[in-house]
Structure 1
Amino acid sequence: MDLQGGPYLNIKALCSPLGAARLCQLAMGCAVIAMVTHSAGFSGSHGVFCMAAWCFCFAMSVVVFFLDATRLHSCLPISWDNLTVTCAAFATLMYVTASVVYPLFFVRIECPYAGCHVRDFRIAVTVCSILCTVAYGAEVALCRARPGQAVVGYMATVSGLLKVVQGFVACIIFGALANGSEYYHHAATIYCVAVYVLCFTLTTLMVIMTVCGRTKAVRCMSFDRFAVVCTLLEVLLYLSASVVWPVICFDAKYGSPWRPSSCPQGRCPWDSKVVVAVFSFINFGLYVVDLIYSQRTRFVSSNTRANPRV
């Protein structure tokens, strides 16, 4: 018991829908890692990515659950609500990706050379990964701000959650750019890369400001107005990049409208260019939706930490 007569541990971190979702994340995450290391196995860049995603999300969930249960997060100079919903949204995206990539590359109907027990373990890994995805999604749903609310936790709003998705999509674009996209051959595609970097930087900056509780750092305007200005700029920049990139990369004058037959599988610059083009359109749509929703957001800046969500 503490000096005020209450329990030392935060009971609501255990006995609440949010606590149940986090316990499910820990259980399923531990099961996935244990089965992969025990018998399911992984190999290659795709397997390494899946294992890294599972381990990172599990470690993040352990830290979040421990800090919430012990109330030690109150000692940190951060906005706890913003941090936890950001972590949950990011983990949801990571688990969704791993839950698609792992069965796509490692699960087969027929038994592999190692025996049917390996296949069964890999199927079990996929199922547990999907269940963990649902658990992280449930946490996001429980923490999400309802329409019409004036909230302190900006990351709990639709606009805040979209920031996480935009950053994740940008990371996919950067991965495709690094995978032999040959963007440096034309000044126009270099401009597109600069757009992706600038928009990613602005998005990351807004996330960091909210998580660190520095929403009053912009002195000339409120934070929600600052978010709208940045989002409008990102919409315009992504609009230009979404037009310039496919024109330069797939026009016969500068590139090839069709995939070259001699292009190696997995290391083909044309494939990377297609990935960049597709996800540029996706991120452009996300920024447009963000701009629409941000008109309805009324974020309340506060120097005091919000109470943990239950």
Structure 2
Amino acid sequence: MKKSIILSILLTFILTTSVFAGANITDQDVTLDGEKVEIAGYNINGNNYFKLRDIAALLSGTEAEFDVSYNSMKNSVEITRNAHYEKLPTDLTKVDTTEINSKKSSQKVYLDNEHVVFSSYSINNNNYFKLRDLGKTIGFYVDFDEKSNTIIVKSEKTTPKDLIETETVSFKSFATDVGNNITKYEFDKKEILTPDDFIKQMQRIVLLSKDERQFSGKAEYNESNNTVEFSALGTKIKGKIYFDPKIKVEQGNKKDFFDFNKSINVNELIKDFSKDENLTITMGYYLGDEKPENFRSISTIEFTNTPMGIE
């Protein structure tokens, strides 16, 4: 019994120390192109972390400017290089020093539509990123002058680099467990369907490269060009294969096909079908010409008039 208690205490300590971190407001000056600027940052384990929007505001209008936005559909932060950032009233403001709550951030971040795993922390409900990582990946100059205890930022554009060494792979095909990529709903219990409704249930995605290697994969919807993109799990393999999502509605011998763009209204989609018997809505793509025989299923949602849980 004592061993179990001790083990629980140790596990709690390990989990707590790995998730939460001590953050102190940095006492170092920050200069931009040689001029001192007022920007709030934190020092965590000897590294300086700054709010992403503050850095975007600092570099707005310069050669190294970049834009920051939030994608509610993906629940992700999106960074766009070489794009203008409109400053917000909340940018470059003082931070509350009375209480600092910090923990590792799990926020997804995309840089020019590429998923990037940054070292970041959530501090008082704001995301803070390691400054050197931002400079390296976005492409602006960051350095530190020990004599003057000053963080040096320059607005000159530098060549962006990956945070870790990656291999670019060309993929030629993908496969997923279509037979298990199925969810059921009662009619009128799901009014809107988005690509993510189909993507989130995809199981065991495998990508095949042109040199015949196999990789475990993941799928994401790219709203900007309305594609479903497959990429390798992890961050060391770069490369994607994608398709334009289409929809097949099927009930008995009746089938119909539609384009799929961002979202669909279920009742509008099935208005020519009956709710007296089950029907399926399948997301897929055409392999070749847009003919019914060339449609390839990826993920299915079934609608039923039988209350769920009752045979």
| Higher RCO, 1 vs 2 (CA within 8 Å, ≥6 residues apart) | 1
Structure with the largest fraction of strand: 2
The TM-score, its normalising length taken from structure 2, stands at: 0.23
Structure with the largest fraction of helix: 1
The TM-score, its normalising length taken from structure 1, stands at: 0.23
